[in-house]
Amino acid sequence: MVQAPVRINLTPEQQALVRQASGKNIASLGIEPNETGSGWLYSAGNNQFWLLKHSDPESYRAARRRQKPRINPQYARFRLRVGKSRIHRFGVFALERIPARRNVIDYTGELVNSVESNRRTKNVKEKYVIKLDDFWRIDGAVGGSGAEFINHSCDPNIRYRVVRNQVVCQSIRPIEVGEELTADYRFPNKAPMLPCRCGSAQCRGTINVRNSRRCGETPQTAKVAGAAVGALIDDGEKNSDELRSWRGRAALARARAGCPRDSGQDARVT
């Protein structure tokens, strides 16, 4: 029997604590169990987040076991399938041609904070966590749309973008029928080095990035532009014509290099 959501009205003292911790004005919380998840679903306005039923991680492991390698069509804009991949275990493949610069599928899952994310993935071999912002992570291992099975490639056709508080997988270039969808995970170079098996001509040998430059930048232009923009921001001129000019020139350089246009903020697999 499905339990009805419970709504809790916060006291003025509790509202003050929430405001101090998050900067948000929240007067009430909705709480409900979810059969497909590993805990309780909390909601505050349009925002939702998860909390495990208890500290025993068995509830999370059980929820992971229920997750099957499939595409949830509710979150996909194009016809996709999950199948065996030459890169790693399962992969996502296109069942129809996908034009460039299109939203292909949402990256869904349980919304957890970074502490809970680290606890979940500490002793787990296969990790499906992606960073939404500095606080929140999306764990695709539970409630995932199937986008969590997109493998890494150093020559990707997909990128992760944060658009309106959700992660969307966008096509970088046209994707043909039967082609595997891949994204550049861009693990930081300070993290343990993981070998890459994408097999592309542009393979850098590791899933980790060698540097943090954006597409279309050289070491010299990245250093000069970064210093100039940083100085302008330090001077409090974030909206100045000069700063907008620097950003415009950087965008033009990326366009000339064949990089896709920005329509949100980059998301990164953690």
Specify the pLDDT at position 42.
62
By the 10 Å C-beta count (0-12 exposed, 13-18 middle, 19+ buried), 232 is classed as: middle
CA atoms of 266 and 255, how far apart (whole Å)? 17
CA atoms of 263 and 200, how far apart (whole Å)? 26
Instruction: Report, at the CATH architecture level, how domain 71-108+144-207 is classified.
Output: Beta Complex (2.170)
Specify the pLDDT at position 40.
59
CA atoms of 166 and 190, how far apart (whole Å)? 27
- Reading the chain (270 residues) residue by residue, the pLDDT tens digits are 445 567 788 889 888 887 776 677 778 777 665 544 455 556 666 666 555 544 456 667 777 777 789 999 999 999 999 999 999 989 999 999 999 999 999 999 888 878 888 888 887 788 899 988 888 889 998 889 999 999 999 999 999 999 888 899 999 999 999 999 999 999 888 888 889 999 999 999 999 987 655 444 444 433 333 333 333 333 333 344 443 444 454 455 444 444 545 445 666 666
Specify the pLDDT at position 14.
85
Specify the pLDDT at position 28.
79
| pTM exceeds 0.75 for this model | no
Per-domain residue ranges of the chain: 1-66+109-128, 71-108+144-207, 213-263
Specify the pLDDT at position 27.
82
Specify the pLDDT at position 270.
65
Encoded tokens for 95: 């069942």
Strand partners, 48: 43
